[in-house]
Amino acid sequence: MPHASISNPPHALPEDSLGYAILTAAELIAEVVAGTTLTESLGALWAARPRTPPGVRGAILDLTYSSLRDYGRQDFILGRLLQKPLPEPVQSILRVALHRLDSHSDTAHTVVNQAVDAAATCLGGKFKGVANGVLRNALRQMEDLNKAADADMVAEYRHPPWWIRRLKTQYPAQWRNILAAGNTHPPMALRINVLRSDRDEVLANFADAGVPLHQLANGALLLERPVPVSRLPGFAEGCISVQDAGAQFAAHHLDVEDGQRVLDACAAPGGKTAHILELADVDLTALDADPGRTRRIEENLQRLGLAATIKTSDCRNLDAWWDGRFFERILADVPCSASGVVRRNPDIKWLRRGGDIARFAAQQAEIVDALWQVLAPGGKMLYATCSVFAEENSEQMAGFAARHPDCRRLPLDGQLDCQYLPCSEHDGFFYALLEKVA
């Protein structure tokens, strides 16, 4: 559960101050260090402080996400400046402050003062002087500290050792680029709802609104820089949706046609569900095991003017949800490590362990084996993850094909294992298309 500090009333710092944002970001990061997901902690924070102004929310989120993307580097530097870690959230205040000093070196004096003010509100203020001394020492030694950090694997690449080693083994020519992409701010891409608008109209509306973007090869629209959803013309009217360009391959790869019976087996929050419905007039069942996330499917479809049969159930439990009629198309967007979208979920780098990958792979195998039973002969199932690890992707598909002699692998973009690695245009995704031999 989230730490008590998250649900407490705001502290005595001015809400619009950098110190307030540093302190709140540090409290969130302390929750992640303790094992709580950032999604859960943010939910508790906004529930406790519902009137937080949008600008203050933005500052908190920017500091939190950016500091978590710097995983490993701040702790390496603090290890050179402290004999032992300080109690939370003071340790995380220093993490956030070091990130801010690195990204805003021209405001170093302000950053130090505001971070010290934040530390003064914690644990009776007894670590205020320590925080001040550590940050001023960091400024004096920053060149040497950065040089030492650049020579350390975890501090340089900002990922856990097991993660780095896995990528080096599986992607000997690309691992550095994958790690670097995981430390960047994610791109923001849009999908046009072709049932309510068209490309020329959307492009004209964005030009009039002064929001620059360009179209990618798969039809996704990539913004030059992320903007709040409230600034997206046509969003409230259901003309567009926010969806990563890599995720937009899924509905196209599924090869849907009018009149087909389609299953989206792990559908929440509904982006791929909606995209399928925008491309073809199909009888679609959207399934998810989490009731809260199932409601997100309903909300997204309602905004877009789309309809599907929505059920809450574990897709592996066929008796609980399947009516006995086969599906011509199945999207199996299975739970995974999310290693391909880590820049959107930087807490994953803190929370995942190397042994988790085998657990995900076992769950994925159970899901696709169950779903294969409800696929019609001659039908197609698209296996999808937002992972870059082979155990969840190519190795998973090789094992599935070996277990199911009635499976035929179909090429996507000229390859059986279609791995999109994270880059400036999209996140990391894996797709494999399987046909059930009649």
Phi first, then psi, for residue 387 (nearest 5°) are -115, 160
Catalytic residue among 122, 336, 386, 407: 386
How far is the C-alpha of 154 from the C-alpha of 375, rounded, in Å? 44
- Can 122 be counted among the known catalytic residues? no
Going by DSSP bridges, is the β-strand pair 327-333/375-385 parallel, antiparallel, or unpaired? Answer: parallel
Q: How does DSSP assign 326-392, residue by residue?
A: -EEEEEEE-----GGGTTTSTTHHHH--TTHHHHHHHHHHHHHHHHHTTEEEEEEEEEEES---GGG
CA torsion, ordered 391, 392, 395, 400, to nearest 10 deg: 140
How far is the C-alpha of 136 from the C-alpha of 288, rounded, in Å? 50
414 close to 170: Cβ distance less than 8 angstroms: no
How far is the C-alpha of 411 from the C-alpha of 123, rounded, in Å? 59
Cβ neighbours of residue 99 closer than 8 Å, sequence gap 6 or more: 63, 66, 67, 70, 74
Q: Which residues are part of the catalytic machinery?
A: 386
